[in-house]
Amino acid sequence: MLYRFSNCVLDDHGFTLTRDGQVQPVEPQVFDLLLFLVRNPETLISKDQLIDAVWAGRLVSESAISARISAARNAVGDDGKSQAIIRTIPRRGFRFVAKLQSQTPDEPRLKQKTGRQKIRYATADDGVKIAYALSGNGPPLIRTAHHPTHLELDWEEPIERQFIDGLGKTHTVIRLDQRGCGLSDLRVDDFSTTRSAKDVKAVADDLGLREFALLGSSSGALIATEFATMFPHCVSRMILLGGYVDGRSVRNGAAAQGEQETILKMAEEGWETPDSAFVYGYLSVYFPTATQEQLRPIARNLQNSCPKENEVLGRDFYNNHSIAGLLERVKTPTLVLHSKGDEVHPLSEGQKLAKGIANAELAVLDSRNHNPLPQEECWQIMFDLIEDFLLD
C-alpha cells in the first residue's frame, strides 16, 4: 500500500519513505511507528498501543518513545513545535493529523494463477532456508500448519489440496514447511514455536508483506498465536483451526506422559516402514470417519515429510508445550474454529483459546474429525465462516 500525505509517500511493501521524491533513511523501528500511525489516521494512539505495535509489548522507557517520535517527525519533515503531521496529545498519546491518501500498488510477487503453486525459499535470521509456496489469488493469507508438512506432497494429496484451493478462491495462500521438514532445511535442532514464528516473519519479509491474515491449524495454531504476540502489527486477522493451548502431556499430566513416550517409541520404530500400520492407525484417531482411500495418501505423505528423528523431536516439543501465558497478549481479531467431537485436541482446548484471547469468536463445527473432511456438511460451513471473517 502507498500512503501519501504532505510531501511524503510511505510504501509498506517496499519499506521506503520518500519526501519530495527523495528516499529518506529510516530505521526499521521508526518505519514501523510511522506505519502504525498512518494506518490509524485521526485516531488517538496511546503509548501502550504504540508499545504493543512497535515494541511487541516489551518494557520501553519514555525517553525511547520520545526519541522514536522525534525521529519519525524528522523523517517526514515535521517537528515538535509545528506538529503538522504527528501531534502529541499531552498525557494521552499521539495522533496522525496530516491529510492522508492511500492507493494499492501492483503486487507482482503475489500474482498467481489458479491451479498451480510456486515454491520459493526465504532465509531465516540464523541462515536456515525455509521453503514456502504461493497459490490462489487475493489478499495474502499465511497458513501455519501441523508438523511435519511437505509442500509438494501436500499439494498432490486430495483433502489438503481441496482445503488449499478453497482458501485460494479469495486469497493468495502462503504455506511453508517448518524447519526440519518438507523442502526446508532438515538439519536443525530447534523446533520451538518462537523459532517457527521468526521463520514465518522471514517468509513475510521475503515477499515484502507488512500486513496479512494468519491461519494456524492444529499445532500451527500455537505458532500463529506466538507470531501474533511477537509481531502484532503484521497480523490483520487470525484464524485458529483445531488448535490447542496445552500440549497433551501438559493438560493430562503423568498418565499422558507415559502414553506419549509409548507413541514416540512406536513412531521411531514404524516411521520408515512403508505403509506403516502404526502411522495409519495413529491418523485414524485424528480422522475417525475418513475412508481408507483418504487416509492412505495422508499417512504416506506424513512418513515422507521428515526424518524420524525430526518427527520425534517436533512431537515431543508440542506435547510438552503450552501457550497459556501468551493468550492475554494477543490483540488481533481472532476466530477459533474447533470440531465438536475432536478426540485428539478436545473442544475444551478451543474454548480455552477463545476465552483467553480478548474478543475472540468461537465457532463449533459439527464433526468427529480433528478437522472437517470434504464429505461432511460442516466442510462448506467452515469455508463460509473463514471467508466471512477474513472479508469482514
Q: What is the pLDDT of residues 78-88, one digit of tens each?
A: 999 999 999 99
C-alpha 41/C-alpha 56 separation (Å) is: 21
Last-in-domain residue among 103, 133, 156: 103
Q: Is there a single domain that holds both residue 135 and residue 239? A: yes
Q: How confident is the model at residue 106 (pLDDT cuts 50, 70, 90)?
A: very low
What's 46's domain CATH number?
Answer: 1.10.10.10
Contact 172, 207 (CB under 8 A): no
- Which triple of cell numbers denotes residue 107? 503486487
Q: Is there a single domain that holds both residue 92 and residue 154? A: no
Contact 371, 317 (CB under 8 A): no
Q: Is there a single domain that holds both residue 126 and residue 173? A: yes
Contact 181, 152 (CB under 8 A): no
Question: What's phi and psi for 73, nearest 5 deg?
Answer: -60, -45
Q: Is there a single domain that holds both residue 25 and residue 89? A: yes
Residue type, 228: A
C-alpha 83/C-alpha 98 separation (Å) is: 9
- Which triple of cell numbers denotes residue 202? 522471514
Q: 55: domain range?
A: 2-103
Q: Is there a single domain that holds both residue 78 and residue 221? A: no
Q: Is there a single domain that holds both residue 280 and residue 306? A: yes
| pLDDT above 60 for 111 | no
From 29, 41, 30, 32, select the one nearest 4 (Cα to Cα): 41
Q: Is there a single domain that holds both residue 140 and residue 194? A: yes
Last-in-domain residue among 103, 135, 155: 103
Residue type, 364: V
Contact 215, 141 (CB under 8 A): yes
What's 371's domain CATH number?
Answer: 3.40.50.1820
Mean pLDDT (the chain) is 89
Q: Is there a single domain that holds both residue 71 and residue 146? A: no
Q: Is there a single domain that holds both residue 160 and residue 283? A: yes
Q: How confident is the model at residue 205 (pLDDT cuts 50, 70, 90)?
A: very high
Model confidence, pTM:
0.72
From 225, 218, 309, select the one nearest 268 (Cα to Cα): 309
**Torsion angle (degrees, nearest 10) of CA 371, 375, 379, 384:** 170
From 163, 370, 349, select the one nearest 286 (Cα to Cα): 370
C-alpha 133/C-alpha 114 separation (Å) is: 13
C-alpha 199/C-alpha 334 separation (Å) is: 21
C-alpha 175/C-alpha 303 separation (Å) is: 19
Residue type, 300: R
CA 117 from centroid of its chain's CA atoms: 19
Q: Is there a single domain that holds both residue 220 and residue 359? A: yes
Tell me: the pLDDT tens digits for 148-187? 999 999 999 999 999 999 999 999 999 999 999 999 999 9
Contact 208, 15 (CB under 8 A): yes
Only one residue has cell 509489548, namely 57
From 121, 333, 384, 108, select the one nearest 213 (Cα to Cα): 333
Task: Name, in order, each residue with C-beta under 8 angstroms of 359's C-beta and a sequence gap of 6 or more.
Answer: 333, 334
C-alpha 223/C-alpha 210 separation (Å) is: 18
Residue 172's SS3 state is strand
Structural domains of the chain, count: 2
| pLDDT above 80 for 250 | yes
Q: Environment class of residue 214 by beta-carbon count within 10 Å: exposed (0-12), middle (13-18) or buried (19+)?
A: buried
Q: What is the pLDDT of residue 312?
A: 87
| pLDDT above 70 for 268 | no
From 142, 120, 164, select the one nearest 228 (Cα to Cα): 142
What value does the mean pLDDT take over residues 337-348? 96
Q: Is there a single domain that holds both residue 118 and residue 98? A: no
C-alpha 230/C-alpha 233 separation (Å) is: 9
C-alpha 335/C-alpha 354 separation (Å) is: 8
DSSP structural state of residue 45: B
Q: Is there a single domain that holds both residue 74 and residue 134? A: no
What value does the mean pLDDT take over residues 248-262? 70
From 381, 392, 288, select the one nearest 338 (Cα to Cα): 381
Q: What is the pLDDT of residue 254?
A: 61
Q: Where do the DSSP E strands lie in 24-148?
A: 86-89, 93-96, 100-103, 118-123, 129-136, 140-144
Last-in-domain residue among 85, 103, 121: 103
Tell me: the pLDDT tens digits for 28-80? 889 889 999 998 999 999 998 898 888 877 888 888 999 999 999 999 999 99
| pLDDT above 90 for 213 | yes
Task: Name, in order, each residue with C-beta under 8 angstroms of 8's C-beta and a sequence gap of 6 or more.
Answer: 17, 18, 19, 76, 77
What value does the mean pLDDT take over residues 219-225? 98
- Which triple of cell numbers denotes residue 375? 464429505
